[in-house]
Structure 1
Amino acid sequence: MSIDLSPPAHTPDQAQPVGKVRTRRPWTFYALALFFVVYLAFLYGPMICMFVLSFQGPQGALSFPMRGVSLYWFTQLFDGGGADLGGALSRSLPLAVMVMAITVVVSVAAGMAFRRRFFGSSAIFYALIVSLTAPGYLLGIGIGLMFNLLGWQPDWYSSALGAQLTWTLPFGILITFAIFGRFNPSLEEASRDLGANDWQTLRMVVLPILLPGLIAIALFGFTLSYDEFARTLQTTGQSNTVPIEIWSMTQNVTSPSIYALGTLTTALSFLVIGIALGSIVLIQRRRAKR
């Protein structure tokens, strides 16, 4: 008796193997994609135009078409033509560093304190959040008036510092709450079981684990301070920061030098953001290798 080992023939009603089935995207996908592209163009289009126009030649104007390509308007800035760039940077950068440092320290301290309930914690928290909803111009005017009533001279390192902290501290504290919400308290308990005191636990366990989040807080503090205008306008006294210097240039400068200043300040902001993000990625990679 012979046995037929050949594969059975396919009948017409059997399903044939097919390749990958390409599903058609719904029209909502293309509508949302178009909306996203339009949003990006609206957001970055003016910035790109400013970048391009800042590289015009000596006969350049404030609008297209471009008239030559050069670095003329950048050299005009550093030669003192149209803006006090050096003076503005010498105030904005130290101010941003001070705001960054205070924001990080106070935010971490507040995050440690709010891990446990204490008397008045809810009132303190809501008082911090209220400053986010208050108009920046009103806060700046109020702080400037307070300094005048007390007989103190408003300046970038005093009144402007306090005004900007009303903006950066709430953000820093909210980020800290999110960071501590993901922190495992058993790591602190293990550190104490091994004989570490509270300071050693904070310095050698808590802060290294929270370091990427602390870099994010520092980035927020620096960039929010460096770009702040509303709260700084009435509190810097006789000295301008970079955003106020740019605003003052719009009142009397009719050359592409204002675009050159905007390009430089934007490049500095992107550089700081890149350094912060690169540091976070480097820390995460080192941890993954361990």
Structure 2
Amino acid sequence: MEPRPRSFYGLAVFFGLFLLFLYGPTLTIGILSFQGPGGGLTFPMQGVSLHWFYDLFQQQAVGDIWGSFRRSFVLGLMVMVVTVVVSVMGGLAFRRRFPGSNILFYLIITSLVIPSILVSLGVGLIFSQSGLPVHWATSGFGSQLTWTLPFGLLIMFAVFNRFDKSYEEAARDLGATPWQTLRHVVIPIIAPSLIGVALFGFTLSYDEFARTLLTAGSYNTLPLEIFGMTTNVTTPVLYALGTLTTLFSLLIIGAFLFITWWSTRRKAKRGSDAGKGLL
């Protein structure tokens, strides 16, 4: 086995420093959340305990942590469902060129480059000037869709660009209607990508701050609540909240990855069983 060049070790050290820079703040918050009862917001730690996690579930003098968590969770689910449905519909529509398709595409992508705070301000003004309530489930929902939909559509564009149309042609030759072809052929094939779009939609919504800042109305989502707590809470309970929300995000990502693995394995097994049946 040939020895590795010196450049390999240099790049390995650089990559390790990059990972430390990327995840160091999160690890620091996770460590400090295990401070003892007399601990503060900085090092050195004063004991190790679960005191602040226990305190997090008690009545807080400031804020509405669990109410904001429920709002963020519900809003994330709403954004996820709409992002998946609209992304699939948009991906199917863009499989064929139509008048104005290029303009529409660039209009969709433009929302990604506009500063998020301006989008939040614009959506909030539209609702308030129209006499509509500025609320996390209406204006906040619409503002977050301007962030999640372009990502979902870009994924679907890539998926359908590589999609083999012969599967649809075979289904139509066998007498399948367009709806049956979509339901029994197209959707099962692109299912892993749909799970990816759903993950994008939920996670981008769950931790979105700027586009929700001026559109949430009187009730905060979890990112807004955490930001507000930074000016009032001076104990590691804030770190405990950050640790739990990070673990929750990782749990959601893990669940989506498991669903992707399970659906891929199930599809492979069904294909194998079908092949054995033909034999």
TM range (shorter): over 0.9
Map Cα deviations across residues 107-157 of structure 1 (whole Å, 9 max, x no partner).
Answer: 000000000000111111000000000000111011111111112221100
Partner of 2:7: 28
More moved, 174-183 vs 209-218: 174-183
Unaligned ranges ≥5, structure 2: 273-279
Q: Does 1:63 align with 2:51?
A: no
The answer for the alignment partner of 1:251 in structure 2 is: 231
Corresponding residue of 1:202: 182
Relative to its length, the structure with more helix (as a share) is: 2
C-alpha distance in 1 between matches for 2:242 and 2:235: 13
Structure 1 segment 40-55 matched on structure 2, within 5 A: 40-55=19-34
Question: Which of these residues, 46, 71, 75, is aligned with residue 91 of structure 1?
Answer: 71
- Correspondent of 1:105 among 85, 94, 116: 85
- Tell me the amino acid that sits aligned with residue 151 of structure 1: G
Contiguous gaps of at least 5 residues in structure 1 = 1-21
Aligned-partner residue type, residue 78 of structure 1: F
Letter in 2 for 1:64: F
* Matches of 1:246 and 1:93, distance apart in 2: 15
Q: 1:171 aligns with which of 151, 154, 161?
A: 151
Q: CA deviation at 1:23?
A: 2.3
For 1:221-252, what per-residue CA distance to the aligned partner results, in whole angstroms no more than 9, with x for missing partners?
00000010010011001111010111001111
- Displacement after TM superposition at 1:284 (Å): 2.0
Q: Does 1:187 align with 2:167?
A: yes
Q: Indicate which of 204, 217, 227 corresponds to 1:224.
A: 204
Q: Give the CA deviation at 1:78.
A: 1.9
Does 2:55 match 1:76?
A: yes
Measure the CA separation in 2 of the matches of 1:76 and 1:55. Answer: 12
1:111/1:177 contact within 8 Å kept: yes
Amino acid paired to 1:267: L
CA–CA separation in structure 2 for the residues paired with 1:169 and 1:80: 37
Aligned residue pairs total 269
Larger CA deviation: 78-87 vs 264-273: 78-87
Shift of residue 76 of structure 1? 2.1
What SS does the corresponding residue of 1:251 show, helix, strand or coil?
coil
Partner of 2:191: 211
Match of 1:240, SS state, is coil
Task: Report the TM-score when normalising by structure 1.
Answer: 0.90
The corresponding residue for 1:114 is 94
Deviation at 1:68, TM superposition (A): 2.2
CA distance in 1, matches of 2:268, 2:187: 18
CA drift at 1:283: 2.0
Q: Which residue matches 1:6?
A: none
Aligned partners of 1:154 and 1:236 also within 8 Å: yes
The structure 2 residue matched to 1:272, chosen from 252, 270, 275, is 252
Counterpart contact for 1:78–1:85, Cα < 8 Å? no
User: For 2:121 and 2:236, how far apart are their aligned partners in 1?
Assistant: 32
**1:239 counterpart SS class:** coil
